[in-house]
A = this chain, B = another copy of it.
Amino acid sequence: MDAALKEPFNREKQFATKRQAVILAAGQAFRRRGYHNASMTEIAKTLGLTKAALYYYVRNKEEVLFECHLMAYDAMDEILASKPKGIVALDRLEALFIDLVEMLTASGVSLLTDVNSLGAENKTVVLTRRGKIERKIIRLVKEGQKDGSIRSGDARLHVFFFMGALNWLNAWYDASGRLKGEDIAVHFALQMRAGIAS
């Protein structure tokens, strides 16, 4: 391994990793206590750092919130993209939903809803991103209505209904509780499915 080649790469990589740790920890704090109730000092303490050290990794608090949103949407996009094309739309949607719930309960990634604490710029980006995801899922639902697996009705409302379950999950789910993420995923997927199946 050529040190001259490897090390500058590792440096950046280490920095990026630590930065991600900051975003992740902040996300947890924002999810549990709310964006404004969670102070940077508090988040820093979680990581065994001081507030000033945090600012070595991020520009400001809003940027952290922004990155939290992006992190969640990246994870969702990945799941969205990984869905095989074979089967009937309802089955694909169910598999998708299971993956989403498992990701949210297992990965530590937080799906935040506070979009108003972002500046106009970032808010637009986040809402656009969310919109794209919603539209993909709506499209999937419409496919299902075409292939006969999903019953008719406003596809957008179909989706908003069960996306609510997903967002709300983030508010009440506690990893240390008795319910395992996997079980919730199976239950929720079934309920989601039954709610819109033909």
- Asked if A37 contacts B117 (CB within 8 A), the reply is yes
Which B residues are CB-close (under 8 A) to A154? Answer: 179, 187
Q: Does A188 contact B (CB under 8 A)?
A: yes
* Chain A residues touching B, range: 35 or more
- Asked if A33 contacts B116 (CB within 8 A), the reply is yes
**Interface-lining segment among A13-21, A79-87, A166-174:** A166-174
- Asked if B153 contacts A160 (CB within 8 A), the reply is no
- Asked if A169 contacts B165 (CB within 8 A), the reply is no
- Asked if B37 contacts A116 (CB within 8 A), the reply is yes
- Asked if B34 contacts A161 (CB within 8 A), the reply is no
Chain A residues with a Cβ under 8 A of chain B: 32-37, 113-114, 116-117, 151, 153-154, 157-158, 160-169, 171-172, 179, 184, 187-188, 190-192, 194-197
Cβ contacts A to B, 26 pairs, < 8 Å: A33-B116, A34-B35, A34-B36, A34-B116, A37-B117, A113-B113, A113-B171, A151-B194, A153-B187, A153-B190, A157-B179, A160-B165, A160-B169, A161-B165, A161-B187, A161-B188, A161-B191, A161-B192, A162-B165, A163-B168, A164-B164, A165-B165, A167-B167, A167-B168, A194-B195, A194-B197
